[in-house]
């Protein structure tokens, strides 16, 4: 595992597409997944620039990715950003867990857990006392297993007119 670099962005985008199409298909329709790819499921280059986004590699191939953020955006790639993504204050704001994807061939091998543990360690070192995220319905059990609790369910509007049900979750340290 290592911090993502800007030149990793195309490989991360490919990983996101295959991961979403295979691993999200148990909870979302093909049309919902296609509507979310590139916007809700997409690379946020600010995470790479902040060096808070990580990739897991096997033999030079990126097989997992995920990160955390000290900025206001809760989810989504560059395509859905509007305005400045300002920095949060760890004294009274929650850090964000962002954009976790694992290649289907590597699902349930501990990659997501390893990235999450690394993120949480760095988040605590940065002075944050809590973290929040927006989980897909597929990811909700993963985060529950890591002591995140549900705060609200809502739907994200997609460009193709559909919506994507998601869950806002939080964890306190």
The predicted model gives 107-121 an average pLDDT of: 95
The predicted model gives 30-57 an average pLDDT of: 92
pLDDT bracket for residue 114 (50, 70, 90): very high
CATH code for position 63: 3.40.630.30
Please name which of 169, 167, 165 lies closest in space to residue 132, comparing C-alpha atoms. Answer: 169
Distance CA 119, CA 168 (A): 18
Range of the domain at 74: 2-172
Is the pLDDT score of 142 beyond 90?
yes
**H-run or E-run covering 20:** helix 9-23
State the total domains in the chain.
1
Query: What per-residue confidence (pLDDT) applies to 72?
Result: 84
């Amino acid at each position: 595992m290592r911090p993502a670099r800007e030149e990793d962005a195309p490989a991360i985008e490919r990983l996101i597409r295959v991961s979403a199409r295979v691993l999200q298909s148990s909870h979302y329709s093909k049309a919902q997944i296609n509507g979310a790819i590139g916007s809700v499921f997409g690379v946020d280059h600010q995470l790479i620039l902040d060096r808070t986004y990580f990739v897991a590699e096997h033999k030079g191939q990126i097989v997992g990715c995920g990160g955390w953020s000290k900025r206001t955006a809760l989810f989504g790639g560059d395509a859905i950003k509007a305005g400045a993504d300002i920095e949060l204050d760890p004294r009274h704001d929650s850090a964000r867990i962002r954009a976790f994807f694992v290649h289907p061939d590597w699902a349930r091998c501990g990659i997501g857990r390893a990235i999450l543990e690394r993120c949480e360690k760095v988040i605590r070192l940065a002075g944050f006392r809590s973290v929040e995220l927006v989980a897909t319905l597929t990811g909700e059990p993963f985060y529950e297993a890591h002591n995140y609790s549900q705060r609200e369910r809502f739907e994200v509007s997609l460009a193709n007119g559909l919506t994507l049900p998601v869950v806002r979750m939080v964890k306190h340290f």
